[in-house]
Amino acid sequence: MNCLLSEQKENQSPFLISSDESLSFAEADKRVNGICISLLNANLKGQRFAIQSENTISYILHLIASWRIAAVPCLISPRYTREQTKICVAQLNCMQAINLRRSIPPSDTSFAEWPAAHANIIFSSGTTADPKAIVHSFGNHLASAEGLNEVIKLDSDDRWLLSLPLYHIGGLAILFRTLRAGSAIVIPDDNASIPKSISEHHVTHCSLVPTQLYRLVNDPALKEPKVILIGGAALNETLFEEAKENGLHIYTSYGSSEMTSTICCSGLNDAKLSSGKLLKNRDLKINDDGEILVKGDCLFQGYVHGGEIVCPLEDGWFRTGDIAELVNDNLHLNGRIDNMFISGGENIHPEEIERCIRNFPGVEEVEVKAEEDSEFGQRPVAYISGTYDKDQLINFLKANIEAYKVPRLKALDS
């Protein structure tokens, strides 16, 4: 791996920005060399090691240092319990675990780049019951960054807010995009709001999930970024229209950890409200069951399983478990196979009902589940928070979805 930071070690432009300090590419390069010494002293060259931290400058520097010594960082959520962490460390056969509490002093020592087969191991964020250990290569990350950077332009004077955790693929992908483009990363304070971070550090790009956008859509600070990339879940029409009316620059997307983040991305405020079109370095098709299958340069190396790395493919394709359709090359998500249930002989995808309910005025949050029913086997039940008229919502649902999909309504906290 030819480390992108080393390519810019003379660059005095900002690279890592927080309220505590700001490092140029050149300053970060020197600091990374100091961390390399510590990791080498810990005998981590070429080894797997677990690392836990919230988003900090030190965390990013440790990741880059590990790549320089051909170590493979295994990114584990700091929210895991001690027992969960022990299980992860044992599963991945990590040589040791590092929980970042202090920074390591800088050094002027230079290190050559040693080749490493793998860039990292992360755990899936949980669309399945048990998180899986996912292995990425440097080629995966660079292909992912290249594809998205062609659609969402990222220049050397831009700043991307690290509003997603590095131990998830959405956060880690931001690091590779900015390294690829020579732009800066803004690391928000633990207690700082996203709008405050945007205004204080002149953020030009940020990544949000729909829940974050819902809470912040009326904040004037969100008008400042020229790119707000929405991922993690489908965006409903009501929230999308409100964001547009407020002058926000919205790009919708679809991605997965197994495809090293973003797979499809829309244009700016695309009226189709889809997850966008397929990006470069990826392939996608929909099988007869409506499931999304993917492959390409971004496809992960596999899952760590029983001491081996296993990539479950069918004729070279990876089954995502997501249900969708392509309309004029735009991807429209419909749900997940493993969430589907049968009610009175009919297939029901909870996500379809949730999207419809979110479009009704006064609804804040909704979760649709299957509950046992003596007549139909299972019936959909919607757990909702907000201030809304139940009778009007029922009439709204009857007008917009099939009758067998109309759920019982319950309060979200019941």
User: What pLDDT is stored for residue 376 in this prediction?
Assistant: 84
Question: What angle, 0 to 180 degrees and rounded to 10, lies between the N-to-C axes of helices 25-41 and 57-68?
Answer: 60
Per residue in 23-54, pLDDT (tens digit) is: 999 999 999 999 999 999 999 999 999 999 99
| Window from 116-130, 283-297, 360-374, 389-403 with minimum mean pLDDT | 116-130
CB 317 within 8 A of CB 295: yes
As a whole number, the mean pLDDT across the chain is: 90
N residues, the chain? 414
Structure tokens at 188: 């928000």
| CB burial of residue 132 (10 Å; 0-12, 13-18, 19+) | middle
| pLDDT of res. 108 | 56
| pLDDT at site 1 | 40
CA–CA distances in Å: residue 27 to residues 11, 12, 106, 156, 160: 9, 8, 9, 16, 19
Domains of the chain: 1-116 (3.40.50.980), 130-336 (3.40.50.12780), 340-411 (3.30.300.30)
Instruction: Report angle CA 293, 213, 277 to the nearest 5 degrees.
Output: 30
Q: How confident is the model at residue 101 (pLDDT cuts 50, 70, 90)?
A: low
Chain segment 297-349, per-residue pLDDT in tens: 999 999 998 889 999 999 999 999 999 999 999 999 988 888 888 888 788 88
pLDDT of the residue at 131 = 78
pLDDT digits (tens, 9 = 90+) for 141-185: 999 999 999 999 999 999 999 999 999 999 999 999 999 999 999
Let me know: does 180 contact 225? Beta carbons within 8 Å: no
Placement of tokens 């479950």 in the chain: 312
Distances 225 to 199, 260, 278 between C-alpha atoms, Å: 9, 24, 24
Q: What average pLDDT score do residues 76-86 get?
A: 88
Q: Considering Cα of 28, then 31, then 32, then 33, what sign does the dihedral take? A: positive
Q: Region 355-369: what's the mean pLDDT? A: 91
N-term to C-term CA, the chain? 52
365 pLDDT exceeds 60? yes
**Within a 10 A sphere around the Cβ of 324, how many other Cβ atoms?**
21
- Check: CB of residue 233 under 8 Å from CB of residue 240: no
pTM of the model: 0.85
